[in-house]
Structure formats: C-alpha cells, structure tokens
Amino acid sequence: MEYKESIIGREHEQRLIKEYYDTPKAELIAVYGRRRVGKTYLIRQCFDDRFDFRFTGLFGTPRSTQLSLFKKELERYSGKRWNKPQNWYDAFEELRDYISGLHKERIVVFLDELPWMDTPKSSFLSAFSYFWNQWASAVPGLKLFVCGSATTWMLSKFIGDKGGMHGRTNRQIYLRPFTLFETEKLLQSKGIDWNRYQIVEAYMTMGGIPYYLDMLENHLSLNENIDLLFFHEGAILRTEYGFIFRSLFKNSKIYRAVVELLATRSSGMSRAELLKALKLEDSGDFTEVLDNLCKCDFLRQYSAFEKKSRDQMYQLVDLFSLFHLQFVEKSDGQDAHFWSNMLDNPKRRTWEGYAFEQLCLHHVQQIKQRLGISGILSEVCSWTCKPFTDKDGTEYKGTQIDLLIDRHDATVNLCEMKFSVDTYALDKDYAERLNTRKETFRTVTGTKKSLHTTMITTYGLKQNKYSGIVQREVTMNDLFREEL
C-alpha cells in the first residue's frame, strides 16, 4: 500500500492505515465518524478499490435481502457459486471458506456501514464476533476494515462492546470533518477560485463535510451554489438533515428535539435546562442522548471557567444543522434564489456572526498556533455572568465570553469573535464594553491571572484610538493554518 497524494488531507489517517496494513498479524480496524465525512472514500482510495472482499450494509433493509446481496458479492469476488446463507453465522462461515482459499501475504476485507447490517433480531453482532474471535483474528496478514456512519453504534455496540467484541477492535481511526486548510485544498482541486472570505462562508454553511463541499460547482458563485443545493426545486441537500438523524439514531425524535432546541440558544444550555425545556425526566437514557450527540460532532460539551464537570454546558456546533434550521427548514421552497436574495438581510448577518463563532471553536488549535501558545497547557472554556450588584453598591451588567483560553502560564485570553466584510473598527461604546467585560470577569472570578483581550476577525482590526485595548489579534487567514 502506498501513500496517496491525490487524497485531500487525511495524511495522519493514511499513515495509520499503512502502518496497520504493514504488520504481519491479523488486524481489525474500525473507521468511524459522522455521516458524509469520507470514511468509505478514504479506504477505497487507499486501496484503489482493490479488495479481496467488500460488502456494504443497506439502511432499513431486511436481513434476508442483505444476506442475498452478501452471497452475490461473495460470488463476484470468488468466481464460484455459493448457497444463500440463512443467517449471518452462515454468511461468515462462507466468507471464512472463501478467505481460506486465498494464499496471499495480505488479505483485505472491507465491511462498510456495519451498523446497518445489525437489523433487529438478526444476531449480526454475535455472528461477527464469533467469526473474528474463533478464526479470523488468527489469520496472518488478514486486514479487516469496518466502517459505520452511526457513530454511536460503532462506539457503544462495537468498539465499546462488553460482550464478545470487548477489546477486540485493536485499531481505531476517527475521521473528523475537514479544517479550513483542508477545505481550501479540496476546493482548489475542483478548480474553484474563491477568496478566503467566501470559503469561510461555504464552511459556515456546510461545515467541514467533504461530501457536501464536493458538490460545489466551479462555474457558479457561492450564493448560486447554495441556492442550487438547498433552495431549488428538488435540491439535493434540502432533505439531508432529516435523513442524517434517521440513519444515525434509532429514536431520532429526541435527538432532533435536543438539536433544534439548542439551535435557538447560542450560548448553550445545561443538562438541567434541557430537561426542563423538553419536559423530560432525568435518566440514563438522556445522558446517552447527549453523549451520542457529542460523539457525532453535533454538540460540544464544555465547562465554564473554573467550574466542575457537573456544571457542564451543551452547545450546537454542527454548522450544517444550524444552517438548515435557520434557513432551509423555514423557507417555503418557492424561491429558487432564496440565498442570493438574502444577501443584505439582517437575519443572515446575525447567523453569520454566530456561525463564525462556531467556526472559530472548530479551529482552536489554529488560534493557539497564531498566539504562539501551542506548547502551553491550556483549557478552552466559556464564561457567563448575570447582572448583579456588588457589596459596595456597584452595578454590573450581565456579560458573556464564548471563548476563553485559560493558560497554565498565568494568562487568560478573552476572545471576541467578529465576522465582518472589512477590517473591524472598534468604537468608543464597544471599547468600553470590552473593558467592562474584562473587569467584571476579574471581579467575579477573583482571578489574579493576566487577562488579554483577543480579537478574532476576518480582515483584522482597524488601528484607531480604541484599538490599543486589544492585546492580541487573530485573523481569518490564521484559521487556514495547517494543523501541526
């Protein structure tokens, strides 16, 4: 197996796949990540689509149909006839017979969308476990790759299984969404010549999901692309949001309810606040829902400054979902040029401000690189303060800081994120607000650390008599850095 320069990004993942392939022993390699992130593409490209056997599970398809298709694939790869398996135990027994006849140094088997094979009462997982534990794990050079978009199934039922598969998945590869650096490379490979402001807008609409980004066409502007993909009649991504939840979660209703509630609360909500708003009883099931949404990259779980884990908050960070809920779901589908006509709409500007904040949270490592603190131990958190009156009668307004970098060199970066079409100019009122926020933070937390007001903007800060209150700056270009 060779490193593929044609694959955009994924250098680290390619190195892992090559490392696992080169070992002489049997390897079970689980590749997981959210739907459309490029798991199947990565494995197929790494092996030039040359496998000794490959089978893909089908969403919502009965076991009998999947077993028939499994048989046909086995016949295609082996060149011989096989009996139709009556269950998954039979299917894996036939796969064992086929592999036993291969006399190769390396044997590569790829089972894609594994969770979709695990239909109700199918005994798929126990049959797979028996196949691997009883025989396949002892076959020298056998490389069994498994994938699944249902991240929760992959982590709880497969990788984290407490039964026959416990501890058997000796290799795991998590595929996360693209960064801005990787997104720019993908668009360039498609001949799309957009400036970085437009690439940021594309990212805020689709997140770093390669499958969606690959749909962008180089002969259209960004606004035209978005109209075509989301708002034209029969737009291909108009119904994607609903299918994501149906395909990832068995009880998708509660998952959607959590995401859609958090889409209305930019600063996030605590577990208790979510339970109260959704009128649900506290239970382990709800804990699982929140954990699963975090594992699938829909939510982030974070702590407020110097707060304990029980005070953790949950915030929607999936940009594709946010865009859908803000605009696609609410459009009536009658305006094929909806997004182009929203160019100067205040609602779009409000969304851009919040989406840019989330984009920055996706690129904290790049922000740290720009600040020169990559090697300093630090914690990323937030802070909220309700209005209050001090003991001496001083009144403090409520304030919120969405991104704090609490460093172990006795410094805290208080980050302010602003999306602007030009250099951002501080005025007197805003400068006073930033100073008041800093002093409120110092008073309420009692911290003795140095506090650095840090501006993260698209085109930088305009130098004027108020800009001196900002200690550090990060611009849009800094977010395009390659992650070290």
**pLDDT-derived band of residue 4, with 50, 70 and 90 as boundaries?**
low
* SS3 readout for 415-453: EEEECCCCCECCCHHHHHHHHHHHHHHHHHHCCCCEEEE
The pLDDT of residue 385: 85
Q: State the average pLDDT for the chain.
A: 91
Lowest mean pLDDT among 60-64, 126-130, 346-350, 377-381: 377-381
Can you tell me the distance from the alpha carbon of 9 to that of 328, in angstroms, rounded to the nearest whole number? 29
Whether the predicted pLDDT of 409 surpasses 60: yes
Reduced to 3 states (helix: H, G, I; strand: E, B; else coil), residue 345 is coil
The pLDDT of residue 66: 97
Q: Name which of 307, 315, 304 is nearest 404 in CA terms.
A: 304
The pLDDT of residue 155: 79
Average pLDDT on 299-319 reads: 81
Q: Which domains does the chain have, with CATH numbers?
A: 11-174 (3.40.50.300), 178-362 (1.10.10), 372-474 (3.40.1350.10)
Strand-strand pairing, 388-389 and 411-418: unpaired
Average pLDDT on 218-226 reads: 97
Average pLDDT on 361-383 reads: 92
CA torsion angle for 355, 361, 363, 364 (degrees, to 10)? Answer: 150
Q: Name which of 328, 341, 337, 366 is nearest 477 in CA terms.
A: 366
The pLDDT of residue 166: 53
Whether the predicted pLDDT of 40 surpasses 60: yes
Average pLDDT on 14-21 reads: 94
Residues 431-461: pLDDT tens digits? 999 999 999 999 889 999 999 999 999 999 9
Average pLDDT on 351-376 reads: 94
Question: Who's near 315: CB < 8 A, 6+ residues apart?
Answer: 262, 266, 267, 268, 269, 299, 300, 302
Average pLDDT on 308-329 reads: 87
User: Is-contact 202 214, C-beta < 8 A?
Assistant: no
Question: Who's near 382: CB < 8 A, 6+ residues apart?
Answer: 267, 268, 302, 304, 305, 313, 400, 401, 402, 403, 404
Whether the predicted pLDDT of 161 surpasses 80: no
Give Cα 293 distance to the centre of its chain. 10
Whether the predicted pLDDT of 170 surpasses 80: no
Q: Name which of 314, 305, 326, 244 is nearest 277 in CA terms.
A: 314
User: Is-contact 38 175, C-beta < 8 A?
Assistant: yes
The pLDDT of residue 340: 94
Can you tell me the distance from the alpha carbon of 20 to that of 29, in angstroms, rounded to the nearest whole number? 8
Q: Name which of 69, 163, 74 is nearest 116 in CA terms.
A: 69
Q: Which one is predicted more confidently, 155 or 379?
A: 379
Reduced to 3 states (helix: H, G, I; strand: E, B; else coil), residue 87 is coil
**pLDDT-derived band of residue 477, with 50, 70 and 90 as boundaries?**
very high
The pLDDT of residue 153: 83
Q: Which one is predicted more confidently, 311 or 17?
A: 17
Can you tell me the distance from the alpha carbon of 336 to that of 353, in angstroms, rounded to the nearest whole number? 25
The pLDDT of residue 162: 59
What are the structure tokens assigned to 27, written together? 């390897």
Average pLDDT on 215-235 reads: 95
**pLDDT-derived band of residue 310, with 50, 70 and 90 as boundaries?**
low
